[in-house]
Amino acid sequence: MSTVWAWAMAAAISTAATAWAQTAPSLGLIQVSPSVWYVQGLSALGTPGNQNFISNAAVIVTGQGVVVVDALGSPALAQGLAEEIRLITLQPISHVIVTHYHADHIYGLQTFKALGARIWAHQGARDYLRSDTAELRLRASREQLAPWINADTRLVEADEWLGDERELWLGGVQIVIKPMGPAHTPEDLVVYLPQESVLIAGDLVFRARIPFVGQADSRQWIGSLERLLALESRVIVPGHGPVSTSAREDMQMTRDYLVHLRATMGAAAKNLDPFDAAYEAADWSRFESLPLFRVANRMNAYNTYLLMEQDKP
């Protein structure tokens, strides 16, 4: 790293930190086990007012370093999280594990990179990072989330691309990184601490809100949840929503929603029913009280309808 670049990055982080302090969302770390803390994003769409703080991030504190799981939705938020970490430990932030490359989880990566952390992610993200879709999304975010996402915000690749399951021992803490995709994304990872029965699930688990399905392979996503249910998880840190101490119940909520989408939209696609009529006829009563239902559910249903139209079992 050049001295000039390092100075410029430090100045940019300092400026972002000052602005963050003036208008920051609440970023209080919540402890969920001896080694694990997390911050809980808002159940909302990303806006300049919330700095794109709409997803969770987890922090694993050990005697030989700190592992952050997901980097939040803007460099300023990541700087705020780093400041919060300094309140509970002076250990360096050694690693950032990316559960998947969606904007609300990755735009803070450059901040942690500047602080010396190594970034680990699944190799399935490389095609997305080098795609027009990723670049167009970043351009849109620069317009829609300014000044928190701006011309200095960039996409950051991993220092190490993972393929198979990986185990990291740090300060006596066992951290197991499990590939689970393609599901919510092609590159889904979860982080499991067997000694503490804690699962950091990324966006495979949404709690107390409607999941964002997008272009997900919902069939594979359901299968991944079945595999996660086999783990002995006392606590789940979801990608969105409050921490769960009812692991089976909360994973099943996400699973049941996906199953319901596939059943209703699959039947409509098979019968050649028009989407609008099928959507109006479907029973959404179990889910319609959840936050972001009116924002996300119709889009989720339409994408699932298209998927099922292609006869993907």
Give pLDDT, residue 311: 65
Would you give the end-to-end CA distance of the chain in angstroms?
49
Give pLDDT, residue 124: 96
> How many distinct structural domains can be found in the chain?
1
- Please list, in sequence order, all residues whose beta carbon lies within 8 angstroms of the beta carbon of residue 68, skipping any fewer than 6 positions away: 57, 58, 59, 60, 81, 85, 93, 95, 96, 97, 112, 117
Instruction: Convert the pLDDT of each residue in 26-63 to its tens digit.
Output: 899 999 999 999 999 999 999 999 999 999 999 999 99
Q: Which amino acid is at 239?
A: G
Name the residue range of residue 239's domain: 3-309
Spatial distance between the Cα atoms of 248 and 230, rounded to a whole number of angstroms = 9
Instruction: Convert the pLDDT of each residue in 133-192 to its tens digit.
Output: 999 999 999 999 999 999 999 999 999 999 999 999 999 999 999 999 999 999 999 999
- Residues 190-207: what's their mean pLDDT? 96
List the structure tokens of 209.
């809100």
The 10 Å Cβ neighbour count of residue 300 is: 22
What φ, ψ does residue 107 adopt, rounded to 5°? -70, -10
Spatial distance between the Cα atoms of 122 and 192, rounded to a whole number of angstroms = 15
Asked if 51 contacts 24 with a C-beta cutoff of 8 angstroms, the reply is: yes
Give pLDDT, residue 312: 47
Q: Which amino acid is at 153?
A: T
Instruction: Convert the pLDDT of each residue in 103-144 to its tens digit.
Output: 999 999 999 999 999 999 999 999 999 999 999 999 999 999
Better-predicted residue by pLDDT, 25 or 235: 235
Task: Give the distance between the most distant pair of CA atoms in the chain.
Answer: 64
- Residues 284-300: what's their mean pLDDT? 95
CATH number of the domain where residue 302 is located: 3.60.15.10
Q: Three-state SS for 194?
A: coil
- Please list, in sequence order, all residues whose beta carbon lies within 8 angstroms of the beta carbon of residue 178, skipping any fewer than 6 positions away: 165, 189, 190, 191, 192
SS3 track for 13-72: HHHHHHHHHHHCCCCCCEECCCCEEEECCCCCCCCCCCCCCCCCEEEEEECCEEEEECCC
Cα Rg of the chain, angstroms: 19
Q: Three-state SS for 238?
A: strand
What φ, ψ does residue 168 adopt, rounded to 5°? -120, 125
Give pLDDT, residue 7: 37
Asked if 55 contacts 240 with a C-beta cutoff of 8 angstroms, the reply is: yes
Percent of the chain at pLDDT exceeding 90: 84
Spatial distance between the Cα atoms of 49 and 29, rounded to a whole number of angstroms = 20
List the structure tokens of 265.
């939209």
Instruction: Convert the pLDDT of each residue in 209-262 to its tens digit.
Output: 899 998 898 999 999 999 998 898 999 999 999 999 887 888 888 999 999 999
The pTM for the full model equals: 0.88
